[in-house]
Amino acid sequence: MDFGFCLSPSSHVKMDSIDLTTFNRLKETNPDVNTCIACGSCTATCTAGNFTEMSFRRLLLMLQRGKEDEAKKMIQRCMLCGKCTLVCPRGINIRKILLDITR
Amino acid sequence: MKENILIIGGGAAGMEAATQLKKLGLNPIIVEKSERLGGHIAQWDRLFPAFHPAKDVVEQMLNNVKDVDARLNTEVTDIQRDNNGFHAVLSNKETIDAKAVILATGFDLFKAERKQEYGYGIYNNVITSLEIEKFFKEGKDPRINNPKKIGFVHCVGARDVKVGNTYCSKVCCTTALKQACEMKEVFPDAEVYTFYMDLRMFGPGYEDLYLKTQKDFDVKCIRGRVCEVSEDMNGRLVIKAEDTLFGKPLRMTLDLLVLMCSMEKAKSIDKIQQKLGIANNSDGFMQNKDMYLGMNDSKQDGVFVAGTCTAPKSLPDTIGEARSVAVEVFNYINNK
Amino acid sequence: MIVEGKKKIWADYQKDIPDDHYFYVRSCIRQAFWPGSEVTFLDITRNKLGKDFYENPYHTTCGGIAYHSDTIPQETAMTIIARQFALMHESGYENYVCSCITSFGCYTETLETWHEYPELEAKIRQYLWDSCKKEFAKPKYLAHASDIIYKFRFEIAKQMKYPLVNVKTGKPLKVVEHIGCHYSKMFPSKGFGGAEYPYVLVGMIEAWGGEVVDYPERRHCCGFGFRQYFVQADRGYSMSNTHKKFESMEPYEPDLIITNCPGCPYFLDRWQYVIAEQTGKTYGKDGYGIPALTYEEVAGLVMGYDPWDLGLQMHQVAIEPLLEKMGIPYDPKRKYQGLNGKDLGQPMCPSCIKSV
């Protein structure tokens, strides 16, 4: 029977059951990844971010909230120019992390 | 004859002011309403940012005042100005005549049950920052049973127009990260989260504490305020918060929730404060003359203020103010 | 759960509501959805409790639906409300009680707005005079009908025939209480118990022998609203909110839901069928649903009114399992008969959610 409407899924992140495999793997090889303060400098300077939705700040948060598929889609935009690593105030080796995610 | 200086309050500010005044040749008299000197700091386990044991500082301060005249379990019930200064009547019927009065009455912790949505006093596993500090000191609390997931909520009773406190309570962010690290030390397998609106790490070594919290202790800091707490069937807490940086609301089940309660001016001094003619500022703390060169003066001649009774402060700030009020009082006595 | 903590909050949010002499106004949609409710309220208050509840035949809707759907401006809604107050004044009453929770929200909002903006009140006075030559007086006290039942819950308990207890097991029934959003979320001080832990329905359940269920999504809105409901495609949004509540209360296996709003039991009742059709899941035992009743219907049940006189056959979720649990006798043959035993035919019953 077609009611003309249906149930919508909830948009909240169910923190009790998210999949953190990629992020946990990153923590082992790049312990600095924990120290991101989401200041946004990387995204602001990002070359690809000028024309696409690429944002390393968002990407890292996606991995921390279990949205690995979205993260792997976004990461394809990265040009590996290294500007993000240049500006990070926490000294995180972002370029290496980006390579490690897809490895 | 050494002049009497009445110091109301035997916490960090009162003790340090007494120590300095004694060295300057005056006779400070501390009147403390509880059964011991030390104030809130004596209940603390370790101090930020470097986890310095609080009892080292407290014991040294107590040692410094061992020869100071202190009346414990006593309150000032009445105070009048007279030709010689101030005439105070204590709750043990004694009287003290002093040339100057220092109000060092400190703070009360915000009553967390006023933030009804957090369920303090209703759900078993919601505790305050003071209670968790006591747990660190004494090693046990019936509510803390090997929790696997722990959350800290910043700004409880501060920056909040609904409870009437719009100010920032300054030290809770640093305290929260310190306590989060300490929880990870006690329960290394637990996941610890802090829910903040801002992280105010203003002092020397505080940003290093933040870095350590993330890197060495793997505490997860989520920017977004917890808005609602409920209980599930097993007595665990279900919280709702938004991850504002990610842009999505989130739901989490926790075993323990710690509320970082703000400082409010201690209310027990209200009657005497009114008698002395000292007003409160718009944050509900005692009004000093101004915050630069008049921070220890009140608008009344001979009445001085120091410590957290004028605004939320850290321990170094309080000790600094206590030393400066001693100098102010000394100058006041000698210029008279 | 530390109940003492809740009791302290409930003690902070108490209302002193008058004992008697109320001007009662009905609800437009409540009369259509739950026809037995208002008639039961008047019967309980007038005949069982001996109070004076007066209805003026010229009263109308409060205009809340139109106001909340943005089809009339606030001034129009306020003028309609002013006319209601004028009728109250002309009938010689000072205490106002309304049946619907959205009305209660509208009346409270109007009175508070007039309190803060007296020039608006003066303007409405002029509008009312221009449109119907009436003058109004603000009520001395505004209550909601659930407040009245709450106030007299112990008197009702004294006349109680069937407490909220499962007669087969002897245990109290597990009751979920759901407060309409407009009761206290807007003005927490106007509701018993405030906004976070409302007490008006909890008090009734406790007085009548039931056990209150507190589940994580207790405070969540059922999704009724007005705007989103009117457009068919948006109803999925409303239904998802109700679905969230059911998913959250399911592990507690509640026997009954009690509500004090017209829209909430409507949603909590009807959406169980739609959810069953779309997902195949029901929330009651053995394929039944969880009955969602209004507080008057529950008061009527515990006092021994006939379930079909209370209008319980109008609920989509089958009420018979609850009646059996409470030990209330009912005549299955009379279920779909009209007044004087007239045969009104049988409604179609869904197969996805069990109905007797």
Taking a C-beta distance cutoff of 8 angstroms, is the pair B307, B11 a contact?
Answer: yes
Shortest CA gap B109–chain A (Å): 30
B123 at interface of C, judged by CB pairs closer than 8 A: yes
Both C117 and C139 in a single domain?
yes
Both C25 and C130 in a single domain?
yes
Is the pLDDT reported for residue C320 higher than 90?
yes
- B203/B94 Cα distance (integer angstroms): 43
User: Encoding tokens for residue C307?
Assistant: 């379930």
Shortest CA gap B83–chain C (Å): 47
For B230, the closest chain C residue by CA position comes to C216
Instruction: Categorize the per-residue pLDDT at C164 as very low, low, confident or very high, splitting at 50, 70 and 90.
Output: very high
Chain C interface mutation, best of A1, A2, A3, highest count of C Cβ atoms under 10 Å: A3
Strands B100-103 and B256-261: unpaired
CATH fold for the domain made of B112-261: FAD/NAD(P)-binding domain (3.50.50)
Residue range C175-183: average pLDDT? Answer: 92
- Whether B214 and A62 lie within 8 Å, measured CB to CB: no
Both C199 and C140 in a single domain?
no
User: Encoding tokens for residue B56?
Assistant: 């080292």
Rg (CA), chain B: 21
Is the pLDDT reported for residue C160 higher than 90?
yes
For A6, the closest chain C residue by CA position comes to C236
User: Encoding tokens for residue C21?
Assistant: 């002499």
Both C321 and C222 in a single domain?
yes
Q: How many CB pairs under 8 A join B and C?
A: 41
User: Encoding tokens for residue B288?
Assistant: 């000093």
Both C136 and C167 in a single domain?
no
pLDDT tens by residue, C180-222: 989 988 898 888 988 888 999 999 999 999 999 999 999 899 9
Both C186 and C52 in a single domain?
no
For C218, the closest chain B residue by CA position comes to B230
pLDDT tens by residue, B24-68: 999 999 999 999 999 999 999 999 999 999 999 999 999 999 999
- Whether A35 and B251 lie within 8 Å, measured CB to CB: no
For A18, the closest chain B residue by CA position comes to B252
Q: Choose among C308, C294, C100, C13: nearest CA to C178.
A: C294
Give B250's strand partners.
A13, B241
Shortest CA gap A1–chain B (Å): 33
For B149, the closest chain A residue by CA position comes to A16
Q: Choose among C291, C38, C284: nearest CA to C145.
A: C38
- C145/C157 Cα distance (integer angstroms): 17
Both C93 and C164 in a single domain?
no
- A63/B305 Cα distance (integer angstroms): 51
Taking a C-beta distance cutoff of 8 angstroms, is the pair C183, C261 a contact?
Answer: yes
Instruction: Categorize the per-residue pLDDT at C2 as very low, low, confident or very high, splitting at 50, 70 and 90.
Output: confident
- Look up tokens 């004992």; give the residue: C19
Complex prediction ipTM: 0.91
B277 at interface of C, judged by CB pairs closer than 8 A: no
Partner residue opposite A7 with nearest CB, options C232, C234, C243 = C243
Q: Which residues of C touch A10 (CB under 8 A)?
A: 240, 244
DSSP for B220-259, written as a single string = EEEES---EEEE-TTS-EEEEEEETTTTEEEEEEESEEEE
Domain map (residue ranges) of chain B? 4-106+266-335, 112-261
User: Encoding tokens for residue C123?
Assistant: 């303007």
Q: Which of B314-318, C30-34, C317-321 has the lowest mean pLDDT?
A: C30-34
- B116/B302 Cα distance (integer angstroms): 42
Give B82's strand partners.
B85
Tally of CB atoms within 10 A around A36? 20
- A35/B216 Cα distance (integer angstroms): 10
Shortest CA gap C269–chain A (Å): 16
Is the pLDDT reported for residue C33 higher than 90?
no
C286 at interface of B, judged by CB pairs closer than 8 A: no
Taking a C-beta distance cutoff of 8 angstroms, is the pair B107, B266 a contact?
Answer: yes
- Residue that is last in its domain, among C128, C145, C162: C145
- A46/B37 Cα distance (integer angstroms): 57
DSSP state of B333: H
Partner residue opposite B248 with nearest CB, options A12, A37, A90 = A12
Chain A interface mutation, best of C278, C351, C353, highest count of A Cβ atoms under 10 Å: C278
Asked if residue C69 is part of any domain, the answer here is: yes
Asked if residue C1 is part of any domain, the answer here is: no
Tally of CB atoms within 10 A around C329? 10
- Whether C196 and B117 lie within 8 Å, measured CB to CB: yes
- Whether C1 and B124 lie within 8 Å, measured CB to CB: yes
pLDDT tens by residue, C89-102: 999 999 999 999 99
Both C136 and C193 in a single domain?
no
Instruction: Categorize the per-residue pLDDT at B277 as very low, low, confident or very high, splitting at 50, 70 and 90.
Output: very high
- B82/B169 Cα distance (integer angstroms): 37
For C252, the closest chain B residue by CA position comes to B233
Order across the sheet with B256-261: list the strands.
Answer: B126-128, B256-261, B149-156, B191-196, B220-223
A4 at interface of C, judged by CB pairs closer than 8 A: yes
- Residue that is last in its domain, among C82, C111, C145: C145
B4-106+266-335 and B112-261: identical CATH topology:
yes
What is the tally of structural domains in chain C? Answer: 2
Q: What share of chain B is helix, strand, coil (3-state, %, to 5)?
A: 30, 30, 40
- Average pLDDT over chain A reads 92
**Residue B49: is the preceding peptide bond cis (ω within 30°)?**
yes
C236: left (phi over 0), alpha (psi -120 to 50) or beta: alpha
Report the length, in residues, of chain C.
356
Shortest CA gap B114–chain C (Å): 9
- Whether B122 and C1 lie within 8 Å, measured CB to CB: yes
Partner residue opposite C240 with nearest CB, options A1, A3, A8 = A8
Secondary structure of residue C303 in the 3-state scheme:
helix
Shortest CA gap A10–chain C (Å): 8
- Residue that is last in its domain, among C117, C145, C173: C145
Both C218 and C279 in a single domain?
yes
Residues 223-262 of chain B whose Cβ lies under 8 A from any Cβ of chain A = 223, 240, 243, 245-246, 248-253
- Cβ neighbours for A79, distance < 8 A, ≥ 6 positions apart: A47, A48
Give the CATH number for residue C229: 3.40.50.11810
- B173/B129 Cα distance (integer angstroms): 11
Neighbours of chain A (3+ CB pairs under 8 A): B, C
The pLDDT of residue B1: 72
Taking a C-beta distance cutoff of 8 angstroms, is the pair B102, B305 a contact?
Answer: yes
- A90/C72 Cα distance (integer angstroms): 56
Secondary structure of residue B188 in the 3-state scheme:
coil
Residues 43-102 of chain B whose Cβ lies under 8 A from any Cβ of chain A = none
Is the pLDDT reported for residue C299 higher than 80?
yes
Give B152's strand partners.
B194, B258
Instruction: Categorize the per-residue pLDDT at B300 as very low, low, confident or very high, splitting at 50, 70 and 90.
Output: very high
Burial class (CB in 10 A: 0-12, 13-18, 19+), C169: exposed
Partner residue opposite C232 with nearest CB, options A1, A4, A9 = A4
pLDDT tens by residue, B97-136: 999 999 999 999 999 999 999 999 999 999 999 999 999 9
CATH homologous superfamily of B4-106+266-335 equals FAD/NAD(P)-binding domain (3.50.50.60)
Domain map (residue ranges) of chain A? 19-102
pLDDT tens by residue, C222-280: 988 787 788 888 888 899 999 999 999 999 999 999 999 888 999 999 999 999 999 99
- Whether B233 and C252 lie within 8 Å, measured CB to CB: yes
Helices (H), C181-234: 181-184, 200-207, 227-230
- Whether A7 and C277 lie within 8 Å, measured CB to CB: no
User: Encoding tokens for residue C106?
Assistant: 């509208």
Q: Which residues of B touch A61 (CB under 8 A)?
A: 243, 245-246
Taking a C-beta distance cutoff of 8 angstroms, is the pair C6, C196 a contact?
Answer: no
B117 at interface of C, judged by CB pairs closer than 8 A: yes
The pLDDT of residue B336: 64
- C163/C155 Cα distance (integer angstroms): 13
Give the CATH number for residue C95: 1.20.1050.140
Give B229's strand partners.
B239
- Whether C279 and A7 lie within 8 Å, measured CB to CB: yes
Domain that holds residue C49: 12-145
DSSP for C40-89, written as a single string = HHHIIIIIIS---EEE-TT----SHHHHHTTSS-HHHHHHHHHHHHHHHH
User: Encoding tokens for residue B103?
Assistant: 């109000």
Chain A interface mutation, best of B213, B245, B252, highest count of A Cβ atoms under 10 Å: B245
DSSP for chain A, written as a single string = ---S--PPPP-SEEGGG---HHHHHHHHH-GGGGG-----HHHHH-TGGGTSS--HHHHHHHHHTT-HHHHHHHGGG-----HHHHH-TT---HHHHHHHHH-
Percent of chain B with pLDDT over 70: 100
